[in-house]
Amino acid sequence: MVVSIYPILYMVSTSLMTSGEATNQYLFPKKLMFENYIEVWTSNNFQKYTMNSLIVSIIIVSGVLFTSIPAAYAFAKIEFPFRNIIFYSLLLSLMIPEII
């Protein structure tokens, strides 16, 4: 758990530092700089990037739900040839990471 949470805590800690503290790789900020979040949000079109991410996420989740719900119903209620083979092949493909 520590190995998983440490990078997140370090990221949040670094985001609250001044640029000098972050460059020197201090672990904790001397003074909390919440202004960094305001600066990032107002510069660099961060609102646009966030909105693009939300749109893509909503489209992908909707597509997955639109196709997965009928497929789950078909596997659960409808008898068709090779149903078990197709179902186990689908489960096997879901267990393999995408990067492979």
Q: Which residues contact 86 (CB under 8 A, 6 or more apart)?
A: 75
d(CA 74, CA 54): 30
Backbone angles phi, psi at 39, to 5 degrees: -65, -45
Regarding pTM above 0.75, the answer is no
Q: Encode pLDDT of 26-59 as tens digits.
A: 888 888 999 999 888 888 888 899 999 999 999 9
